[in-house]
Amino acid sequence: MKKLILCLVIMLVGISGVLAQSKNGGISEDMLGRIRQGYQGTPEQKAVKNALASNSIATLAINAENLSMIDTHFSHRVTTKGITDQKSSGRCWLFTGLNVLRAKMITKYDLPDFEFSQNYNSFYDLLEKSNLFLQAIIDTRDLPMDDRKVDWLIKNPIGDGGQFTGVSNLIMKYGVVPKSVMPETYQSNNTGQMAMILKWKLREYALELRGLKANKAAERKEAMLTEVYRILVECLGVPPTEFEWTRYDKQGKAVSTKKYTPKSFYEEYIGEDLENNYVMIMNDPTREYGKVYEIEYDRHVYDGENWLYINLPIERVKELAIASIKDNTAMYFSCDVGKFMDRKKGTLDIANMDYASLFRTQFPMDKKQRIQTYSSGSSHAMTLIAVDLDEAGKPRKWMVENSWGAASGYKGNLIMTDEWFDNYMFRVVVEKKYVPTDVLKMLEQKPVMLPAWDPMFAPEQ
């Protein structure tokens, strides 16, 4: 009988403790006492605590059973030369897009090496983004400041991150130039402070434009862009309108010397319609497959078009990517690069780190759940250049050309397992000739419009 009474008392105390804490949702003193039992100072807990006091979590989570390097043989690899370096900037999207075109130009003309000027296109990217922002402010000036769209615009006036839509719109409008014609500057390689200055000015301009009538706002916007242009020239240099360039063959012999404009140079050496010849494919399990999605303001040029994405299951994405690589054509590729990356080896492999064992817990969320909870999303663009297929034609691993310099990763590249590809790959841009008819037909749908602040479409940097 005494035991029964004691059990009832304990239960009532427990229930009263729960009720006490749930009344206002705070942590009561009793609850804190119970929570503190999570750490009891066992030898195991002390050992982990001591190790974490002076080491990074990623270092301690390295999986000792996966220290060996992934095999670097690939059954199919696109011909490329050289590794680019975006330095301390968020221009991965631009480096990736230009690297796709660079690989084509090197192969087509048998060049010893070649690199387009990222600085040239960056200049016009920032000018066009400034106009996009200012015009969007004019378009929304009748909405209150706390409107979600206006709030998003003010928070995100400009940055050097982006998407493939920037590559296509900017190149088709402004062309390209060799890197020797407009080389990098300190500010193009280190964009943080320049972006800070531009944000200050654009937010200041936004407040002014919201108080002007439409006819006055358009005139004032041009004066604002004139000042932005001057700041960009002082940071990045004057973008050339005409230049002379000599093409050399693989042996270093001069083949031709001609004068070009940026657009005539692009037409002669690339000549593709980037706005109509490519399709953005994504794998987003939080949304319906077989549908087309459009992201508001997901463009770099105001008078351009928002980019369209076809959402497909991961296996179909792989089919398109494999077809392109087999035909020696590199692709724009984006992923959540920071997850399970071994920078020293240059590998992306879920087995690289064992966080679960380090913290004696589990991390069971799948790709869909990680996206829904902001735990994962596309963060970085690279150039997809290789796949290793087994005897049945199934991929074992993939390789991307990165833009972090030749000393980074595996000879400037990153090798990913197929399992990592499934979990952390998000988008790939494929030429239409590699896309099956049934997928192309999806483009006839009316796109589902998504807001600019959708977490899946943050700028890639």
In DSSP terms, which residues pair with 243 in a beta bridge?
260
Q: How far apart are CA 201 and CA 214, in angstroms?
A: 20
Write down the residue that tokens 């001057």 correspond to.
230
The residues assigned a catalytic role are 92, 380, 402
Q: Identity (one letter) of the amino acid at 20? A: A
Among 128, 101, 125, 129, smallest CA distance to 115 is for 101
Task: With residue 99 as reference, give the H or E element that holds it.
Answer: helix 92-109
Among 305, 264, 315, 89, smallest CA distance to 191 is for 89
Tokens describing residue 324: 């392109």
Sequence-distant (6+) residues with CB within 8 A of 257 are 244, 245, 246, 247
Among 385, 128, 171, smallest CA distance to 271 is for 171
Among 239, 218, 219, smallest CA distance to 230 is for 239
Per-residue b or e along 119-138, where b marks 16 or more CB atoms closer than 10 Å to that residue's CB: bbbbbbbbbbbbbbbbbbbb
Q: How far apart are CA 104 and CA 110, in angstroms?
A: 10
Q: How far apart are CA 74 and CA 417, in angstroms?
A: 12
Q: Would residue 380 be called left, alpha or beta, if left means φ above 0 and alpha means ψ between -120 and 50 degrees? A: beta
